[in-house]
Chain A
Amino acid sequence: MRPYCSHSGLFLLPLVVALGAANSAPACPGDDVQVTVVSVLATKENNKIDKKLAELAKKVQERRPYLTGFKIDTQNCETIPVNKAKEFSFVDNQKAVVTVRQAADENNQVKLKVELPCIGKVCYTTCCGKFFPMMTCYQTAKGECLIIAVMVRPCKEK
């Protein structure tokens, strides 16, 4: 006797297999984004500026002139796949979580979501190879202001 098969089930089977495969497929290697996160401590107690922070210090001082000293606290570089998050730790156990929402598109732009202390969640689209500074309102016991700067790579050839 021939076994019974539902016609609708036969149609749905390829769809279920395709959806399962799409869900379990890992991201392409080219979709990984290298995220560099740098924490900077700015103070009004001294005027020593790290030479690598010269441009950042200049632009921050245009908005916060009382901050005269700038130094790098931590510097991290992690490769994060698309739709994956990575936590970064800074001074006083302050943390940030970076999620790659979209790898570099044809315009070499990457979409990120960054969760920062006393700022909240920021979703933005960034260019490649340049830092986006975000001043937090967090201040250390020494009165240093915490600034987080984020950059993505690699930059695709146009």
Chain B
Amino acid sequence: MPNENDYKGPREKLAAYVDGELEPGDHTAVEYWLVRDPEARADVEAQRHLARAWQATRPNEPDAGAWKAALGSIDARLRLAGTAYRQRRFPLRWIVGVAAAVLAAIALFVANRPTPPSREITVEPGDHETPFVLASANDIEITNFADAGSDETDEILLVGLAPVHEPMRLAGEGEIQLDEMTPERGMNPRFRDDPGMPPMIVPEADPKQP
């Protein structure tokens, strides 16, 4: 036990003294300390003041009825939340089921789809740079054009040349030799190769209506 005349313990001893938590020996020593040290006494007094203030402003504990009411309210809200969750779970199950069915149908369709004949596609290195190559006029040979006048044809064609894409030149005098002609019955076509005129076959009969 420390000497009663020179005992000066830690400040925590003062707090324990105020709260009545010291052993009997320590309690006596602290009382001697308080007699000799006015600063320690002021400290103890301040702590007692704080303890009184704590006791004065301490809120009341809820009574048993309040606890019971609170518990009932919590239980009621938990039941309500569980019901709502169960109500939401059914549509979610349906949605998941329908989605799974759709995926299964797509998988079946893809698996059973007839496969086209395999074609080996070779990609040239330059294809990535020019995926859409337009043909030039020299790449397109138009062999047949019907029901369009040549003036219209020039406007219709985006690429390529029609068989007649420039003014027609007629064979000149002496450039056509008639080898043989067998007219249809009742017709009398004439081969005309007049001087200074382009050769031409001209009918002598009247035009035939369709």
Contact = CB atoms under 8 A, between A and B. Distances in A.
A137 B199 contact: no
B206 interface: yes
B172 A130 contact: yes
B210 A122 contact: no
A139 interface: yes
Interface in A49-81: 50-56, 59-60, 62-64, 71-78
B210 A38 contact: no
A50 B182 contact: no
Interface string B150-189: 1101000000001110111111100111111111100101
A84 interface: no
A134 interface: yes
Interface of A: 36, 38, 50-56, 59-60, 62-64, 71-78, 89, 92, 111, 118-127, 129-141, 145, 149, 151
What interface size band does chain B fall in?
A: 35 or more
A138 B149 contact: no
Contact of B162 (A75, A78, A135, A149): A75
User: Which residue, of B141, B143, B149, B201, has the highest number of chain A Cβ atoms within 10 A?
Assistant: B201
Nearest to B183: A120
Q: Please list the 3 inter-chain residue pairs (A to B) with the smallest Cβ-Cβ separation, ordered nearest first.
A: A139-B207, A77-B163, A137-B203
Given A76-B144, A127-B176, A55 B170 contact: yes
Q: Interface SS of chain A: helix, strand, loop or mixed?
A: strand
B67 interface: no
B202 interface: yes
Given A130-B169, A137-B187, A75 B163 contact: yes
Given A118-B208, A133-B170, A149-B170, 6 more contacts: A38-B168, A54-B167, A74-B144, A74-B145, A75-B146, A77-B163
Nearest to A151: B168
Nearest to A60: B200
A124 B178 contact: yes
B170 A59 contact: yes
Contacts of B192: 63
Contact of B150 (A52, A64, A77, A111): A52
Nearest to B192: A63
A72 B175 CA distance: 24
B178 A59 contact: no
B9 interface: no
Given A38-B163, A52-B168, A77-B163, A92 B203 contact: no
Contacts of A137: 187, 189, 203, 205-208
Contacts of A111: 179
B147 interface: yes
B209 interface: yes
A50 B203 CA distance: 23
A132 B151 CA distance: 21
B171 A130 contact: yes
Given A72-B150, A126-B171, A59 B210 contact: no
Contacts of A122: 178, 180-182, 189, 191, 201
